[in-house]
Amino acid sequence: MELTRRQLHTYEEDGLLFFPSLFDQAEVAALTEATETIAAIDHPSRVLETDGETVRALHGCHLMNEVMARLTRLPRMLRPAEQIIGDSAYVYQFKINVKAAFGGDVWKWHQDYIFWAKGDGMQRPDCVNVMVYLDEVTEFNGPLMCIPKSHHHGMVDVMAEQGEGSWKDNVSADLKYSLDAATVAMLVERGGIVAPKGPAGSVLIFHPNLAHGSAPNLSPWDRTMMIVTYNSVNNVPEPTGERRPEFLVSRDASALQADPEAVLA
């Protein structure tokens, strides 16, 4: 899949692009099965909600599962990322946010890039998120809310909140670098809020400095989403201190080759 010049322009202007039903039902079923396989593995990359039971997120999925690895090489995923980045890309991060029915907790308003800049030593926001919906996303099950155009503001240098001081502060409901109310209000005044809703198989592409977050899921419907973050091969982080685990920051930064033959189902 190639983005048109108009789509690239919209991305530059708004910081996001939405494609309903980019994956078909069989592909969604294969990705859901792979997600369930990974979720059953008791591994530090599996993060639970504060109830200690509900799975909140799975990390480094492309390192653990061949279907997930194939997904990252699909032209539908990789080509738009390469076009947006303007360079060859590799998978920087691959996570699945489950946002379970009745239990999926909040993601406070935040930008992603600050976590990668401060946590990993990423030099520039030359990366992009490609999110695949594994469930239908409605107004009820905690859709991702985004503030269009907020990426033009650049990285808002918020103070880190006190946490236990481990990588878990970056993935829990008590997020380390969240945006304060005044900043969110200012950004919303300029850009409003959108919550792209659509069937399972829809894809949302968004900028690493786009402000986003989501409310808890009070509905009886799961809202599982996969997020592949592609980074430029010329923007590999230069960490100064201890590195976060590989399931949060991929060590293999070699350029991915799109595989038009790859099948998921």
Binding site for ligand SIN (CB under 6 A): 97, 99, 107, 144, 212, 214, 225, 227
Instruction: Go through 225-238 and write b for each residue having 16 or more CB atoms within 10 A of its CB, e for each that does not.
Output: bbbbbbbbbebbbe
Based on CB atoms, which residue is closest to Mn ion, 112 or 126? Answer: 112
Tokens at residue 11, please?
């991305």
The minimum distance between CB 155 and Mn ion, in angstroms, equals 13
Closer residue to ligand SIN in complex, CB, 27/112: 112
Helix residue ranges per DSSP H, 92-244? 113-120, 181-191
- Cα gap 108→111, rounded to integer Å: 10
Rank residues 231 and 258 by Cβ distance to Mn ion and give the closer one: 231
> What does 96 interact with, of ligand SIN, Mn ion, none (CB < 5 to 8 A by kind)?
none
DSSP at 145: E
| Nearer residue to ligand SIN within complex by CB, 59 or 76 | 59
CA–CA separation, 121 vs 105, rounded Å? Answer: 28
Q: How far is the CB of 64 from Mn ion (least distance, A)?
A: 21
Which range, of 3-11, 17-25, 84-92, 108-116, touches Mn ion by CB under 5 A? 108-116
CB of 113 vs ligand SIN, minimal distance in Å: 12
* 105 near Mn ion (CB under 5 A): no
Closest CA to 78 of 128, 126, 4, 34: 128
